[in-house]
Amino acid sequence: MWPLKTILYFNLFWFGCFMALVNPIWGVVNYMMAYQTNPTDTWWGAPLTELGMRFSLLAALTTFLGFLLAKKHVPAIIPVLSWWEVGLLSLFAVGVLNLVIGHGPNPSAQHAFEKFWKMLLFVFVFGRLVTTRRNVRMVLWTFVVGSLYVGYDAYTAPPSAFWLGRLERIGGPDFSTTSGTAAHLGAMLPLIGVAFLIARHWSGRLLALTTAAFTVNAIVLCRTRSAFVGLACGAVAALLTTPRAKRFRIHFLLLVGAFMAFALTDAHFWTRMNTLTSRSALAADAATVSRTDIWVTSLRVLSDNPWGVGVGNFPAVIGAYDARYYKRSSHNTLVACFTELGFFGGTIFALMIVGALRLLQMSAKRAKETQDPVETKMLVYGSLVSFITYFITGLGTERFYCESFWWILILPLCLHRMVLREAREHAHAVQLRSSPCVDETHGFTGQLQPSS
């Protein structure tokens, strides 16, 4: 007999697959939840593992099928291909080219490249489906529910899940390490805050508030310095870019949230964070020293391989330059991109980062032309703070091949497309109101009036 949790997840997953065929946005939600929960690494998921099911693959396949079969639920996009997506496709092309000119295939690199193209494909579909206000809201609350699951998983984690006092092995495969978990959840916090602000019922606000508490607790248990720096930069960005419409409320929530977060910390957490302000402590810290050495060595790797060493090849190649770090991660998102995809791929990625920020700026300027200007500004605001938090955190831990990192990167494009869609509808409605019409019955020429 399966555990009740197993039965519940099994039924919900297949319901999501079925709904994806009806409307592919449900496939996106189903895939995101499968990614964040990762049932195959849980005790209750053992019976499902024995079935040989690949949940992410099944969720992705049903999403793509729904994308083809339920075209009436696929939002029309103008232009068909944005320049940001051209950058995405260019990164893929560089990755394919490096299969030929890189350092040759190996099992680890092959696995990384397989994940790379699947990730970019899903992100490409994500950017086409999450372009209406309803779909954006669905994805936002999927972030909330997924974070609640990971946060609760951390809260109930056994002592065996900790290593040197730091939480490990929870959540999805991309953030099962302590640094990955903290990076992912740190980027979710701003979006959880926006969900609280735009929730229309008390139940939604309660869900967001509960999720925030569990999320902060999980981040504290990870005791990750890169995430702490990322959140600090995100907090500064949140204060400096607060939308005028809800500035007082947001500042109040940030202050209360900071006090609540501080209450969840302990001496072990601050002992580790205090090393950031001590030069002698950083000089004696093995993790910091190794990261610095790896980054310096990566410059030699890039100098010798300007076209890149190939997707997933950095851990193998770095050992040829410094044997101490054989099979070690770059611990830096930009370093991983530049060394593996070369100057060309790294430049494309950097332009995509800048371009995403530009898209958010343009969306904020046109928010007043949308159906709900205040909510639009909140969504853009949350996306910006999440973007900054994740990117800064990614400078201390490698996130280039992490799917949730790319969800945050493409969210500005999704919001921009939503804004453009509603702005066009708004302009069309204004044009209809101002255009003359003729009453054929009475021969009266007047103005179209808005419906009551």
The domain limits of the chain are 1-74, 81-437
* pLDDT exceeds 80 at position 432: no
Percent of the chain at pLDDT > 90 equals: 59
Distance of alpha carbon 110 from alpha carbon 221, whole angstroms: 33
Bridge-based pairing of strands 444-447 and 166-167 is unpaired
What is the reported pLDDT for 284?
63
Of 170-184, 223-237, 432-446, which range is least confident? 432-446
Of 159-173, 206-220, 385-399, which range is least confident? 159-173
* pLDDT exceeds 80 at position 416: yes
Task: Please list the alpha-helical segments (H only) found in 223-324.
Answer: 225-240, 247-264, 267-273, 279-284, 286-304, 314-321
Distance of alpha carbon 400 from alpha carbon 409, whole angstroms: 11
> Using 50, 70 and 90 to split pLDDT, how confident is the model at 283?
low
Of 8-12, 204-208, 318-322, 379-383, which range is least confident? 318-322
Region of 249 please: left (phi>0), alpha (psi -120 to 50) or beta.
alpha
Query: Do the Cβ atoms of 415 and 264 come closer than 8 Å?
Result: no
> Terminal CA-to-CA distance of the chain, rounded, Å?
58
C-alpha distances in Å from residue 192, one per residue of 188, 217, 321, 408, 434? 6, 14, 43, 13, 41
Distance of alpha carbon 200 from alpha carbon 378, whole angstroms: 14
What is the reported pLDDT for 216?
95
* pLDDT exceeds 50 at position 449: no
Residues near 142 by Cβ (< 8 Å), separated by ≥ 6? 28, 29, 32, 33
Taking only the tens place, the pLDDT of each residue in 153-167 is 999 988 888 888 888
Distance of alpha carbon 187 from alpha carbon 189, whole angstroms: 6
What is the reported pLDDT for 447?
45
> Using 50, 70 and 90 to split pLDDT, how confident is the model at 442?
very low
* pLDDT exceeds 80 at position 121: yes
Bridge-based pairing of strands 436-439 and 166-167 is unpaired
Residues near 84 by Cβ (< 8 Å), separated by ≥ 6? 127, 352, 355, 356, 359, 410, 413
User: If we measure between CA atoms, which residue out of 343, 341, 345, 339 comes closest to residue 321?
Assistant: 339
Burial class (CB in 10 A: 0-12, 13-18, 19+), 201: exposed
Region 428-438: what's the mean pLDDT? Answer: 70
Residues near 95 by Cβ (< 8 Å), separated by ≥ 6? 113, 116, 117, 310, 311, 341, 345
Tokens of 240: 């400096």
Distance of alpha carbon 77 from alpha carbon 405, whole angstroms: 23
Indicate the residue type of 365. Answer: K
What is the reported pLDDT for 282?
66
* pLDDT exceeds 80 at position 130: yes
Of 80-84, 335-339, 443-447, which range is least confident? 443-447
Region 128-134: what's the mean pLDDT? Answer: 95
Distance of alpha carbon 368 from alpha carbon 376, whole angstroms: 8
Tokens of 387: 């973007």
Region 221-236: what's the mean pLDDT? Answer: 94
Region 115-128: what's the mean pLDDT? Answer: 92
Between 428 and 418, the higher pLDDT residue:
418
Tokens of 361: 């700026």
Distance of alpha carbon 409 from alpha carbon 352, whole angstroms: 8
Of 41-55, 132-146, 155-169, 350-364, which range is least confident? 41-55
Distance of alpha carbon 341 from alpha carbon 93, whole angstroms: 10
**Phi, psi dihedral angles at 171 (to 5 degrees):** 75, -160
**Looking at beta carbons, which pairs linking 197-201 to residues 24 or more positions away fall under 8 Å?**
197/246, 197/249, 197/250, 197/253, 197/378, 198/375, 198/378, 198/379
Quote the distance between the C-alpha of residue 415 and its chain's center. Answer: 14
Strand, coil or helix: 200: coil
* pLDDT exceeds 50 at position 82: yes
What is the reported pLDDT for 448?
40
